[in-house]
A = this chain, B = another copy of it.
Amino acid sequence: MTADTRQLILDTALRLFEERGYAGTTMRAIAAEAGVSPSNAYYWFASKDQLVQEFYRRIQVAHRDRSAGVLAGAGTLSERLMGVERAGLEVMAPYHGFGAAFVGTAIVPGATVSPFSEESAGARELSMEIYRDVVAGASPAVPARLAQVLPDLLWLAHLSVILYWVIDTSPDQERTHQLVDRSIPVLTSAVRVARLPGAARLVGQVGAVLDVVVPGRAS
| Residue contact A198 to B205, C-beta cutoff 8 Å | no
Most buried by B among A163, A179, A202, A206: A202
Q: For the complex, is A160 an interface residue (Cβ under 8 Å from B)? A: yes
Count class of interface residues, chain A = 35 or more
Nearest CB of chain B from residue A7's CB, rounded to whole Å: 26
Residues in B whose Cβ lies below 8 Å from that of A114: 167
Q: Mark A102-140, 1 if CB is under 8 A from B, else 0.
A: 011001111100101000000000000000000000000
CB-nearest residue of chain B to A185: B205
Q: Is A212 an interface residue (CB 8 A)?
A: yes
Is A61 an interface residue when CB atoms closer than 8 A count as contact? no
Q: How far is the CA of A104 from the CA of B24 in the complex (A)?
A: 14
- Report yes or no: A108 in contact with B100, Cβ–Cβ below 8 A: yes
Contact indicator per residue, chain A 198-217, by CB within 8 Å of chain B (1) or not (0): 11011001101101110000
Query: CA separation between A189 and B109, bound complex, in Å?
Result: 32
Main SS class of interface, A: helix
Quick one: which of A24, A164, A168, A186 has the most chain B CB within 10 A?
A186
Residue among B163, B183, B196 making CB contact with A193, cutoff 8 Å: B196
Q: Known: A23-B23, A169-B110. Contact between A205 and B189, CB under 8 A?
A: yes
Residues of B within 8 A of A175 (CB): 212-213
Q: Which residues of B contact A110 (CB under 8 A)?
A: 169
Q: Can you list 25 A-B pairs with a CB-CB distance of less than 8 A?
A: A21-B23, A99-B109, A100-B107, A100-B109, A103-B104, A103-B107, A104-B108, A107-B163, A108-B167, A109-B167, A110-B169, A111-B167, A114-B167, A116-B167, A179-B209, A179-B212, A179-B213, A182-B211, A185-B208, A186-B202, A189-B199, A189-B205, A192-B202, A193-B198, A193-B199
